[in-house]
Amino acid sequence: MTQKLPFVTLEQAQAIIADVPTPFHLYDEKGIRENARRVNAAFAWNKGFKEYFAVKATPNPYILKILQEEGCGVDCSSYTELLMSEACGFTGSDIMFSSNDTPVQDMQKAYELGAYINLDDLTHVEFLQQVAGIPKTICCRYNPGGVFDLGNGIMDNPGDAKYGMSEDQMAQAYTKLMALGAEEFGIHAFLASNTVTDEYYPKLAGILFRLAVRLHERTGAKIKFINLSGGVGIAYRPEQRSNDIAKIGEGVRKQYEEILVPAGLGDVALFTEMGRYMLAPYGGLVTTVLHEKHIYKEYIGVDACAANLMRPAMYGAYHHITVLGKESKPCDHKYDITGGLCENNDKFAIDRMLPKIDKGDVLFIHDTGAHGFSMGYNYNGKLRSAEVLLKEDGSHQLIRRAETPEDYFATFDFTPFFKKS
C-alpha cells in the first residue's frame, strides 16, 4: 500500500500543542500556495481563467487571503460568506455568488458587492429584479437531468439534484434577462462530487461548451464565461490515484478548441470553483489519545469528536490516520478510533490497522482542509476547535481560537446567569 504521510512531524506538532491544546485543525501554507499555482498553470492557456475558491469548504479569512495572493477569487453561497469575503478585500468580479432558496438579504448583498450572481432557477429572474436589480453580467445554473456517467460507471444523478435549470429554462432566463438589461452571460453546472478521474472536467466542459453554442445561437446572448464549478476530488485513501490537474487542464483545452473556437466563442473565459481539491490535502485534524478501552473490540478514545470532523459519522467517509512518531512502525493492531459524543457513529475509523497506540500519542487525521472544521457543530455542548496555520518558514499562527463556554452561551438570554454584564 502506498504510504500517506502527514505534512507535520511529531516534533512540530508537539511544539504547536505547547501553544494550542488539541484538538485543532492544522493547515499547510506551503502546500496551499503550491497547489494554487499548479491549478493556475494548468489553465493558463485561457486568458480569462480564474479559480473561485468555495468559501463553504474552509471559511477562514487567513486562508482566503493566501488564495487571494495566489490570484484566486471566492465562491460564496450565503450572506455571511459574502461578508467574510468583503472583509478580505474581495469585491466585484472576484466574487461568484451561487446559492439556492436565496434570502432577500443575501441577494441584495451580492448585488451591492457587484458579484457575479448565479441564478439557480427561472423564477429567480423576477426575484432578483424585485429585490435588487439586474446586473449587466449574470450567470445561470444548468441541470441536464438524467444521470451523469463517464462510460465507466455512473458518477452522479443530476436528475435528482435540486440545483439548476433545464436547457429550455436557461434560454427563457437569458431572453428575459436581456429584456431587462443584461448584456453578458455565464453558464454554471455541477454534475458530480469528489471525482478521482482526469476525465470529469473535460467531459463536463464538452457538455457546457455545446450548451453555450446552442444558447448563443438560440437567444443571441453573449457568453462571457463558463464556470466548471467543483467536483474534482482528492485521494483520501493511500491506494487511490490522485487527479493530474495538468492533464485535466489539457483535456479541457482540447474541448474548448474543438467546440467553442469554431463557433466563434474563442474569447469565453473559464472559471473553476474548487474547495476540496484546493484545500483538503493541506489540512489535518490533530488530536491526542485520552483513553484505551478493551471490550469486544479495541477502542482508542481521542479528544476530538465528530463535532470537529463529521464526514466519517455522516457519510462513512474514509480519512487516513497517522500516529505521529510511529510512521515506520508496523500497522499490526486493529482499532476503532472514537470521540466522546453520545452517538455510536462518533468514530473516525472502524477496524483500522494502525501501529500500537498508547495514551498521550498524537494522531494526525488527514485531508480535513476542506469540509472539515466548516461542518462542525455543538452537539453535546462540544466546543469547536482552534485552527492553526503552519507557515512556510515552519512557524505556526493561530488563525481561529477555540470556542469557550462563554461563546456557547453567548446567544442565550434566559436568566441573569446567561446575560452578559
d(CA 233, CA 51): 15
Catalytic residue among 76, 88, 139, 342: 342
Pair 223, 216: CB distance under 8 Å: yes
- Pairing type for strands 269-272 and 50-54 reads parallel
| Pick from 239, 124, 104, 108: nearest CA to 172 | 124
Angle at the Cα of 345 from the Cα atoms of 339 and 283, rounded to 5 degrees = 55
Measured from the Cβ of residue 139, the count of other Cβ atoms closer than 10 Å reads 24
- Rg of the chain over Cα atoms, rounded to whole angstroms, equals 23
> Torsions phi, psi of 66, nearest 5?
-60, -50
Q: Exposed, middle or buried: residue 352 (CB in 10 Å: 0-12, 13-18, 19+)?
A: middle
Q: Is 342 a catalytic residue?
A: yes
| Pick from 172, 289, 262, 275: nearest CA to 233 | 275
Set of cell numbers at residue 78: 450565503
State the residue for C-alpha cell 489539457. 250
d(CA 90, CA 94): 6
Residues acting as catalytic residues: 342
